[in-house]
Amino acid sequence: MTIKKFQFLLIVLLGVTIASCQKDPSTSDLQQDYLVYTAHDSDVDFADFNTYYLPDSILLIGNSDQTEYWKDADAQAIINAVVANLTTYGFQRSADKETADLGIQLSYVKKVTYFVGYDYPYWWWYYPYYWSPGYWGNWLGWHYPYQVYYGYTAGSLLTEMVNLGADQESGKKLPVIWDSYIGGLLTDSQSLNLERTLNAVDQAFAQSSYLNK
């Protein structure tokens, strides 16, 4: 598990507030304003995987009781950044979800605050529009093989890598073998928000060198 640029929420919010007050936001200190957290299953050899399936949209998590997806140019820029990093690390994107080794799901927290913990990891059942285990196959639920506890707030991007080749016959839950949490992305500048997000996606992979095949 690697934690980089960890800051208390108060400091993050202060940085966002200062940036939002600038007429022309400065990008020189982006690394001081956002948080990038990554975690993985240390028992997994990522060299065993070759292909992945990544949907062409980002799930929006908010207060709506309907499924919402983010598909505009900004969303595609974020998806392309993930694809570029995975390609650099030796993974190949597949158009066939059924035969891919891995699944990549991207979620953006738009309004709500919620938590996931290792001892009680079923928080998504309270959000029926969230990624469902059934989206990836005949799975009974999710499983984090490592200890994890997160608190997500508005303006957070979550990336999860799931092992689609895990054993389904034994009734095991679908394992999340790598995930990235990026927080502190919001300012009043849409262009700065996107730049901050793209830089943070690159940082998430930079600090996850174990993914490199």
Q: What is the mean pLDDT of each run of 10 residues along the chain (213 residues)?
A: 37 33 37 80 97 94 76 97 98 96 92 54 45 76 70 80 84 86 84 93 97 94
Give CA angle at 93 (38, 48), nearest 5°. Answer: 65
pLDDT at 46: 98
Which tokens go with 90?
């030796």
- Judge contact between 182 and 81, C-beta under 8 A: no
Spatial CB neighbours of 32, under 8 Å, sequence gap ≥ 6 = 5, 7, 15
CA distance 58 to 97: 16
Closest CA to 44 of 5, 101, 123, 114: 101
Spatial CB neighbours of 10, under 8 Å, sequence gap ≥ 6 = none
Topology at the third CATH level for domain 35-208: Double Stranded RNA Binding Domain (3.30.160)
